[in-house]
């Protein structure tokens, strides 16, 4: 049960119709690690500045996330992102991005991180993702994330990285952009043809879909009356998905399907409060109850239909 994630550890400033936060803990590596920590041992690889304080480190410590490979640049500043959401919570409006120490980030993996059985490459430069993958020679299952910027600016490099991983977790717009296929099913097939074992396509409030060579599985999003902040929901989904996989001895289609549900469960909690606030305070009983809720929502009896024709 070992899982390494390489990604950003950041500060966020957020404004939604339901409130505002001027400076809270964020970053793909952070959201992923918190989510995955409920299922397995997690090692986070990233970089922060000297402004990253005890309150932020305490979040990682509470969840027993190993931070030995998070580099500290004492005279630098931590990556900062500021954004706003209107009532369409599917669209983030970026107000400010300050890469700071993340701009020159070169992942430094300890032997323990390199030897992880499961690895997740969060959204960073594709060439860096490939370098990390090549260092993790013992990994049984490696997944990655990406974004529209890399697809449009360095597509060839990105594809070379995709070819050396087992799974990619992206949203539907990115899948279409990557493959130039308007149909999601055709897009997923085109991505699988790069040599992947699985493709996970996130669809926001409409759930997520898993594609493998021989199967297809879709799960809905959990129905919520209040969504306070969707920032990090995708990374939280990935954390639940990969964390559950890391907790299992074998990686089968059934494991991947259950992992999809756990990913959706974790993402549903993430959006209920700002930043890491909800997942940080999460209890196992809540996770298990919501997993059972998903099972009820998606279960139906198989009753063959026969039309009765009257004379």
Tens of each residue's pLDDT in the chain, 311 residues: 689 999 999 999 999 988 899 999 999 999 999 999 999 999 999 999 999 999 999 999 999 999 999 999 999 999 999 999 988 777 888 999 999 999 999 999 999 999 999 999 999 999 999 999 999 999 999 999 999 999 999 999 999 999 999 999 999 999 999 999 999 999 999 999 999 999 999 988 889 999 999 999 999 999 988 788 899 999 999 999 999 999 999 999 999 999 999 999 999 999 999 999 999 999 999 999 999 999 999 888 888 888 877 65
Q: How many CB atoms lie within 10 A of CB 90?
A: 12
At which residue do the structure tokens 């370098």 appear? 131
**Of 262, 220, 255, 213, nearest to 240 (Cα)?**
262
pLDDT at position 87 is: 80
Tell me the per-residue pLDDT of 136-171, one tens digit each, with 9 for 90 and over.
999 999 999 999 999 999 999 999 999 999 999 999
Q: Determine whether 22 is exposed, middle or buried from the number of CB atoms within 10 Å of its CB (0-12, 13-18, 19+).
A: exposed
pLDDT at position 88 is: 76
Q: Domain 2-297 classified CATH 3.40.1190.20?
A: yes
Spatial CB neighbours of 80, under 8 Å, sequence gap ≥ 6: 10, 11, 12, 13, 96, 97, 98, 100
CA angle 61, 63, 64 (to 5 degrees): 65
- What are the residue ranges spanned by the domains of the chain? 2-297
**Beta carbons of 146 and 202 less than 8 angstroms apart:** no
pLDDT at position 28 is: 97
**Beta carbons of 202 and 170 less than 8 angstroms apart:** yes
What are the structure tokens assigned to 265, written together? 């469960």
- Taking the C-alpha atoms of residue 107 and residue 13, their distance in angstroms, rounded to an integer, is 25
pLDDT at position 305 is: 85
**Of 271, 230, 270, nearest to 89 (Cα)?**
230
CA angle 158, 164, 168 (to 5 degrees): 65
Please give the helix or strand (H or E) that residue 131 lies within, else none: helix 126-135
DSSP one-letter string for 2-47: EEEEE---EEEEEEETTEEEEEEEE-HHHHHHHHHTTTSEEEEEEE
- β-strands 167-171, 198-202 pairing: parallel
pTM of model > 0.85: yes
């Amino acid at each position: 049960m070992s899982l390494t994630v390489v990604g950003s550890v950041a500060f966020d400033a957020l404004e939604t119709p339901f409130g505002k936060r001027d400076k809270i803990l964020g970053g793909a590596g952070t959201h992923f690690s918190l989510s995955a920590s409920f299922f397995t041992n997690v090692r986070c690889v990233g970089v922060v500045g000297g402004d990253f304080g005890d309150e932020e480190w305490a979040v990682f410590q509470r969840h027993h996330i190993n931070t030995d490979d998070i580099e500290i640049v004492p005279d630098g500043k931590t990556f900062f992102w500021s954004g706003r959401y209107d009532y369409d919570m599917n669209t983030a409006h970026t107000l400010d991005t300050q890469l700071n120490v993340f701009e020159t980030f070169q992942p430094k993996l300890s032997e323990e991180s390199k030897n992880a059985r499961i690895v997740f490459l969060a959204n960073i430069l594709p060439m860096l993702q490939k370098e990390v993958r090549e260092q993790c020679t013992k990994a049984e299952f490696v997944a990655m994330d990406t974004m529209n910027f890399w697809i449009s600016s360095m597509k060839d490099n990105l594809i070379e990285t995709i070819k050396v991983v087992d799974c990619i977790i992206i949203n539907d717009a990115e899948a279409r952009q990557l493959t130039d296929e308007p149909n999601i099913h055709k897009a997923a097939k085109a991505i699988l043809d790069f040599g992947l074992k699985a493709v996970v396509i996130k669809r926001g409030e409409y759930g997520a879909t898993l594609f493998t060579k021989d199967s297809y599985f879709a799960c809905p999003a959990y129905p919520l009356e209040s969504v306070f902040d969707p920032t990090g929901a995708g990374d939280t989904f990935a954390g639940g998905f990969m964390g559950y996989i890391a907790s299992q001895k074998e990686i089968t289609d059934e494991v991947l399907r259950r992992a999809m549900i756990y990913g959706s469960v974790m993402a549903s909690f993430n959006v209920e409060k700002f930043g890491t606030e909800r997942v940080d305070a999460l209890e196992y009983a809540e996770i298990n109850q919501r997993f059972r809720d998903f099972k009820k929502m998606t279960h139906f009896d198989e009753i063959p239909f026969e039309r009765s024709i009257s004379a």
